[in-house]
């Protein structure tokens, strides 16, 4: 006799501004393996610090060969995510990555409960996610920041961690 399936859903009404972000780091060279391994403890420490607005963080494995790991995070709202991403330690990580990606590639895709999506892909030798089917554009001008890519009005609470010309 087949077991009965237990189905459950959630009420997201209390989270009208929920933001879900997937992030990934792919090893592009042997050097990237060391970069990836050094990065993990910093991510965990930042999660353990319980940044304002972070509701949940989950680690993900996209592939073993090549190593490609990531995370899914649920944020209360875009402002909380943006404020955190423009603060230390994330600000330093981003600045360091743009100076030297250390043999890795990085990407994120963001989904908004209120509608809309945005993404960025850096140094990936093969496309992932939206990059596999959507038209590509340089991440400059109106495509430089997540706020602009998502079409969210207003000004960020903090300046961008890197200037647009990086």
pLDDT at 156: 86
pLDDT at 144: 81
pLDDT at 166: 56
φ, ψ for residue 53, nearest 5 deg: 100, -15
Third-level CATH fold of 19-149: Alpha-Beta Plaits (3.30.70)
Domain ranges within the chain, ordered by starting residue: 19-149
Sequential pLDDT tens for the chain (166 residues): 889 999 999 999 999 999 999 999 999 999 999 999 999 999 999 999 999 999 999 999 999 999 999 999 999 999 999 999 999 998 899 889 989 999 999 999 999 999 999 999 999 999 999 999 999 998 887 678 899 899 998 888 888 877 766 5
pTM for this entry = 0.92
Written as six digits, the tokens of 79 are 């402002």
How far is residue 86 CA from its own chain's centroid?
13
pLDDT at 164: 67
Return the residue matching tokens 């930042």: 46
């Amino acid at each position: 006799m087949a077991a009965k399936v237990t189905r459950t859903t959630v009420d997201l009404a209390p989270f009208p501004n929920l933001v879900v972000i997937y992030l990934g780091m792919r090893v592009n060279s042997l050097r990237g393996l060391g970069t990836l391994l050094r990065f993990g403890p910093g991510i965990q420490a930042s999660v353990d610090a319980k940044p304002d607005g972070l509701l949940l963080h989950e680690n993900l494995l996209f592939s073993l060969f090549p190593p490609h790991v990531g995370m899914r995070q649920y944020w209360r709202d875009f402002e909380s995510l943006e404020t955190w991403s423009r603060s230390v330690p994330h600000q330093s990580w981003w600045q360091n990555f743009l100076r030297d990606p250390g043999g890795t590639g990085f990407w994120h895709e963001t989904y908004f409960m209120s509608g809309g999506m945005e993404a960025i892909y850096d140094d990936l030798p093969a496309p992932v996610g939206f990059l596999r089917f959507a038209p590509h554009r340089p991440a400059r001008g109106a495509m430089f920041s997540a706020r602009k890519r998502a079409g969210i009005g207003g000004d960020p609470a903090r300046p961008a961690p890197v200037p647009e010309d990086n």
